[in-house]
Amino acid sequence: MITMKDIVREGHPSLTRSAAVVEVPLSKDDKQLLEDMMQFLKNSQDEEIAEKYELRAGVGIAAPQLGIEKQIIAIHFEDIDGKLYSMGLVNPKIISHSVEQSYLSSGEGCLSVDRPVEGYVPRHARITIKATDINDQPVKLRLKGYPAIVFQHEIDHINGIMFFDRINTEDPFNIPENSSPIQ
Ligand SMILES: Cc1nc(NNC(=O)[C@H](CC2CCCC2)CN(O)CO)c(F)c(N2CCN3CCOC[C@@H]3C2)n1
Ligand code: NI
């Protein structure tokens, strides 16, 4: 089972390097890793398990955060309408995106960053993602709002980008024009 000791922290080279494309069909090991990443997210959102194993809650995680430089991400959360996003993806790519931007009004955090970093993280408001799922099937997702933010945070990890790299250092709470907040 994945616990916090398996998650590398700020300063670890895996977090700032680009991860390798994953061979499809997925190897047994890569499938198992995806399952373990999904289970970590579910555990981290279960009060009892999270307390017992001292897990920080997460709605997404990327393999580089485990020191595994592969293009593998897992997502597990319900959006505001109660739609469940629960999936493991390999080789995710943003193939198109809106000009409009959006950001979480509460800012972002990261399981690999043990400190609060203030400021808005401007991201694309709407994105289209192509990827391959755990059953080697092609996936095409059109996302907006909170789900779009979560997927972009995870895809950034695949490309060695941390959320604070996107915060305006001069004015962290600067609101870029053509951008809107997500509660
Ligand atoms: C927004 C949020 N970020 C949480 N943590 N941070 C993470 O997930 C990091 C990734 C997120 C940071 C901003 C966008 C993506 C992990 N990352 O570093 C991976 O790269 C949460 F835990 C959380 N929720 C809301 C839903 N709730 C359901 C019930 O259980 C508790 C859970 C808490 N919402
Ligand atoms: Ni993160």
- Predicted confidence at residue 172, as pLDDT, reads 98
In this prediction, residue 44 has a pLDDT band, given cuts at 50, 70 and 90, of very high
Predicted confidence (pLDDT) per residue in 68-88, tens digit: 999 999 999 999 999 999 999
* Largest interatomic CA distance in the chain: 46
Contact present, 30 and 133 (Cβ < 8 Å): no
- Predicted confidence at residue 39, as pLDDT, reads 98
In the Cβ-directed half-sphere of 61, how many Cα atoms lie within 13 Å? Answer: 32
Per-residue b or e along 116-152, where b marks 16 or more CB atoms closer than 10 Å to that residue's CB:
ebebbbbbbbbbbbebbebeeeeeebebbbbbbbbbb
In the Cβ-directed half-sphere of 35, how many Cα atoms lie within 13 Å? Answer: 9
- Predicted confidence at residue 142, as pLDDT, reads 98
Write out the binding residues for Fe cation. 110, 153, 157
- Predicted confidence at residue 109, as pLDDT, reads 98
Cα of 38 from ligand 1 centre, angstroms: 13
How far is 49 from 96, CA to CA, in rounded Å?
38
Pick the CATH number of 4-182 from 3.20.20.140, 3.90.45.10, 3.40.50.720, 3.40.50.300: 3.90.45.10
With tokens 């933010």, the residue in question is 149
Cα of 9 from ligand 2 centre, angstroms: 10
Mean pLDDT, the chain, integer = 98
Structure tokens at 61: 């995680």
What's the average model confidence in pLDDT over 83-102?
Answer: 98
Task: Give 72's strand partners.
Answer: 90
Predicted confidence (pLDDT) per residue in 102-158, tens digit: 999 999 999 999 999 999 999 999 999 999 999 999 999 999 999 999 999 999 999
- Predicted confidence at residue 92, as pLDDT, reads 98
Cβ < 6 A, ligand 1 pocket: 45, 57-62, 65, 77, 108-112, 149-150, 153-154, 157
> By percentage, how much of the chain surpasses pLDDT 70?
100
Structure tokens at 123: 């991201």
Predicted confidence (pLDDT) per residue in 4-18, tens digit: 999 999 999 999 999
> For atom 30 of ligand 1, which residue has the closest CA?
45
- Predicted confidence at residue 112, as pLDDT, reads 98
In this prediction, residue 43 has a pLDDT band, given cuts at 50, 70 and 90, of very high
Say what the ipTM of the complex is.
0.98
